Amino acid sequence: MKLSKWLFISVLLFSLVLTGAGCGNSSQVTLNVYNWGDYIDESVITDFEKETGIKVNYETFTTNEDMYIKIKSGGSSYDVAIPSDYMIERMIKEDMLCKIDMNNIPNINYIDPNFRNLDYDPDESYSVPYMWGTVGILYNKTMVEEPVNSWNILWDPKYQKQILMLNSQRDSIGVALKKLGYSINTRDIKELEAAKEALIEQKPLVLAYVEDDVKDKMIAGEAALAVVWSGDAVYMKWENPDLEYVVPDEGSNLWFDAMVIPKTSTHQKEAEMFINFMCRPDIALRNTEYIGYSTPHMEAKKNLSAEILNDATAYPPQEVIDKCEIFKDLGSYLKEYDRIWTEVKAQ
Amino acid sequence: MKIKWVSYPYLVWMMIFVVVPLLLVIYFSLTITDGGVTKFSLANYEKFFEPIYIKVLLRSIYLALISTVFCLALGYPLAMILASKEMSRKNFLILLFVLPMWMNFLLRTYAWMTLLERKGLINTFLSYINLPPLEILYTNEAVVLGMIYNFLPFMVLPIYSVLRKIDPYVIEAAEDLGANSLTVFLKVIFPLSLPGVVSGITMVFMPAVSTFVISRLLGGGQFTLIGNLIEQQFLTVGDWNFGSALSIVMMILILFSMAAMARYEKDYEGGGLW
């Protein structure tokens, strides 16, 4: 008897401790924002807190897949997340996103119409564009003398242990698929297997599979070539003028990141306030200037310096964009990509 | 043995944080989800026996063994130095040895990244004295180096504490009976210190075989160890079932190595883990 009584009390105490945490500040709203690493001017968050009195709990992820798993597996309560196109498409399909009331986001009218109602969210009911860009090769001009215009250079034994690849499933498989002349959304198992072979063949040449650390490495001249996102390339070129960015002729990936409200959100109204705030011209400008990525925000773009606007890395000419392909959600076929990436990494 | 009431909170704690998660892992490892339907299956374990994953397991064991051997080779003499009577300022030395352990091991591993880089501190120094640069960051060697650096104290401290407890009169007796210092070491000190060696080996091998951070940071994501594979299944791929099966395999591996060590340890007193 005594044992069960004590058990009961301890369980009770324990559950009190667990539930107690949530009840504390009912007056003040805390907004959980989930964004890519290095993807915001963090002083913007402080300003939002000052203006609205809403506290922001800011967390970061390194790949779309990481973010998806964290939200999907439950236990999180993110109010705003900033995933990419194909991931938004997937989350909409899996009913993981709240519809956004666009009446609460008047600033969406500053977004260039070319970036609105894209395929991943055709009715513009779930997402508000944040940044966009391409994937390409960043190379160090002092280490690479030949012209860089093809993904094949990443398979050139001359650059053994001088190549940094992205530790991101869709991006790295996409590079191999484009090198072979296939679509980055292929559902042909033969093409995928060929991409796997290519990545395995490339592995001895690769110095490391990196994430945000690619920036430090390339700026410090630790490697000659790296697969990077265009916005990071802009930043790295600021820091080290020896670096140059190119979108290879075979084509590449054109991507869009947008703000969404996951179903885990408990403060939808405040989340919409945050999204609207992020689209305010001065805030959008600060973010764009700080992180270096390409903005879909017309007002912010107008106020950028000519130096950035004329940089083909951030704002590539139309013929480069035409070569590129947008990631699509693969549905259940994704597990083949998962398998191939696991096998490449395990090799 | 009568369980005292003070242990109930601990029991509850163990239930919630050890037993229940373990059962969940076992459940996940024995099921597969196909099109929203969950059914029992051994498919996850079958998948593990594909050559590619066996290779990952063997690689993990291989690297862990190498670092254990190195830790032992480096750690035993060090423990002897620390335990020797002649050593003055012994406590100060031990403090110096333990001091880095007070810092988070992630930070220490990041520090190695900066040291080993192509244009890092070590290579800058080497080129200064006209020596060829070392290219070891993102190689097997860097991973092993990281393991040795991080786990060496786990080898030294158990051996040290056993050595310190050896009765000096036993050694003196051996010397009185005409044994030279090599014989004293081989016939007296080393056998007496075996329990410490065994627990040192276990305490180095287990974290080394299951690490994923060291191989990720110093191996540049190229050297997938079983820990990395598990991490990838949970965090990127989202195949919890296969990830759980891999975790079970690793737990079995660890249990086996502990059991092997425990059997060996039974003949000796103290110093063991269980």
CB contact set of A6 (below 8 Å; sequence gap of 6+): B5, B8
Cβ-Cβ contacts under 8 Å, B119 against chain A: 220-222
- Whole-angstrom CA distances from B42 to B31, B32, B180, B245 are 7, 8, 59, 9
> Which run of H or E residues covers position B37?
strand B37-40
Task: Retrieve residue A218's tokens.
Answer: 């390339």
Number of neighbouring beta carbons within 10 Å of residue B179: 16
CB contact set of A29 (below 8 Å; sequence gap of 6+): A54, A55, A267, A270
Angle at B144 between CA B138 and CA B149, to 5 degrees: 110
Distance CA A209, CA B76 (A): 36
Question: In angstroms, what separates the C-alpha of B5 from chain A's closest C-alpha?
Answer: 8
Distance CA B249, CA B244 (A): 9
Residue of B261 and B273 predicted with greater confidence = B261
pLDDT at A22: 37
Give B162-174 pLDDT, tens digit per residue. Answer: 999 998 899 899 9
Tell me, what DSSP letter sits at residue A109? Answer: G
Tell me, what DSSP letter sits at residue A161? Answer: T
Instruction: Quote the crossing angle between the two packed helices B51-83 and A334-346, to the nearest 10°.
Output: 40
Task: Note the Cα A91 to chain centre separation in Å.
Answer: 14
Number of neighbouring beta carbons within 10 Å of residue B98: 12
pLDDT at B273: 46
Distance CA B109, CA B104 (A): 9
Architecture of domain A2-131+256-313: 3-Layer(aba) Sandwich (3.40)
CB contact set of A39 (below 8 Å; sequence gap of 6+): A60, A82, A131, A257, A291, A293
Which residue in this structure is represented by tokens 């050595």?
A: B163
Question: In angstroms, what separates the C-alpha of A276 from chain B's closest C-alpha?
Answer: 30
CB spacing of A338 vs B237 below 8 angstroms: yes
Residue of B38 and B141 predicted with greater confidence = B141
Question: What ipTM did this prediction achieve?
Answer: 0.80
Distance CA B182, CA A344 (A): 51
Give B27-70 pLDDT, tens digit per residue. Answer: 999 998 876 778 888 999 999 999 989 999 999 999 999 999 99
Assigned fold of A133-254+320-346: D-Maltodextrin-Binding Protein; domain 2 (3.40.190)
**A18 at interface of B, judged by CB pairs closer than 8 A:** no
At residue B4 the predicted structure's pLDDT band, cuts being 50, 70 and 90, is confident
pLDDT at A56: 94
Is-same-fold flag (A2-131+256-313; A133-254+320-346)?
yes
Query: Domains in chain B and their CATH numbers?
Result: 1-41 (no CATH), 43-265 (1.10.3720.10)
Chosen for mutation from B236, B240, B241 (greatest number of chain A CBs closer than 10 Å) is: B236
In the predicted model, residues of chain A with pLDDT beneath 50 are 1-3, 12, 16-26
- Among B63, B202, B250, B204, smallest CA distance to B143 is for B63
Contact A241, A100 (CB under 8 A): no
Q: Shortest CB distance from A207 goes to which of B220, B233, B235?
A: B220
Cβ-Cβ contacts under 8 Å, A347 against chain B: 52, 224
Mean pLDDT across B196-224: 90
Mean pLDDT across B211-235: 89
pLDDT at A79: 95
Instruction: Report domain extents, chain A.
Output: 2-131+256-313, 133-254+320-346
